[in-house]
A and B are shown apart, each in its own frame.
Chain A
Amino acid sequence: MEKKRLLKLIFRIITGNRRGLFGFTILFIYIIIALAAPLLSPYDPLETDMDNAYLPPIGLGGTLDHPLGTDGLGRDIFSRLIHSARIDLVIAFLAATGAAAVGIPAGIFAGYLGGKVNRAVQALTDAWLSFPHVVFAIVLIAALGVRWINLVIAITVIDWTRFARVVRGEVFSIREREFIKVAETMGLSSMLVIASEIMPNILPTILVIYTLELGIAISVEALMSFVGLGVEPAIVSWGNMIAEGMSYIRTCWWPVVFPVIAIMIIVMGLNALGDGLREVTDPRTSSVLR
Chain B
Amino acid sequence: MGFLAYAAKRAVSALFSFFIITIIAFVLVRVVPGDPALLMVGSAVDPQEWFKEYQAMRKLLGLDRPIYEQYLIWLRDIVTGNFGTFYRFNAPVGPLILERLPATLEIVIPTVILALLIGIILSTPKFFPRIAWADKVASAFSFVGMSISYFIWGIFFIIIFGVTLKILPISGRIDMGIALPHITGFVIIDSLLTGKLEAIGSFFKHLIMPVAALTLYEITLIHRINRSSMLSVMQEDYILMDRAKGLPQRHLVFVRGLRNALIPTLTLLGVQFTVLLSGTVIIEKMFAWPGIGKLLVSAVTYRDLPLIQGIIATYCIIVIVTNFIIDALYGKINPRIRYI
A residues near B (Cβ < 8 Å) are: 123-124, 126-136, 138-140, 142-144, 215, 219, 222-223, 226-229, 242, 246, 249-250, 253, 256-257, 260, 263-264, 267-268, 271
Contact = CB atoms under 8 A, between A and B. Distances in A.
B319 A227 contact: no
Across the A-B interface, give the 3 residue pairs with the lowest CB-CB distance, nearest first.
Answer: A134-B278, A143-B33, A127-B20
Contact of B32 (A124, A140, A219): A140
Interface of B: 16-17, 20-21, 24-25, 28-29, 32-34, 144, 146-149, 151-152, 155-156, 158-159, 163-164, 170, 271, 274-275, 277-279, 281-282, 285-286, 293, 296-297, 300-301, 303, 308, 311-312, 315-316, 319, 323
A176 B278 CA distance: 38
A195 B159 CA distance: 52
B24 A131 contact: yes
Contact of A260 (B144, B155, B163, B315): B155
B83 to A, nearest CB: 15
Task: Name the prevailing secondary structure of the B interface residues.
Answer: helix
A131 B278 CA distance: 9
Contacts of A144: 32
22 contacts: A123-B16, A124-B20, A130-B17, A130-B323, A131-B24, A132-B278, A132-B315, A133-B278, A134-B281, A135-B277, A135-B311, A138-B300, A140-B28, A140-B32, A143-B34, A219-B151, A227-B281, A242-B155, A246-B158, A253-B163, A257-B159, A268-B147
Task: Name the prevailing secondary structure of the A interface residues.
Answer: helix
A267 B17 contact: no
A51 B170 CA distance: 29
B164 A131 contact: no
Contact of A142 (B24, B147, B149, B300): B300
A217 to B, nearest CB: 13
B25 to A, nearest CB: 7
A132 B144 CA distance: 24
Contact of B301 (A127, A135, A228, A256): A228
A133 B274 contact: yes
A141 B132 CA distance: 48
A236 to B, nearest CB: 18
B147 to A, nearest CB: 4
Contact of A131 (B147, B274, B286, B293): B274
Nearest to A254: B159
Contact of B281 (A128, A131, A132, A250): A132
A264 B148 contact: yes
A139 B155 contact: no
A226 B282 contact: yes
B24 A127 contact: yes
B132 to A, nearest CB: 23
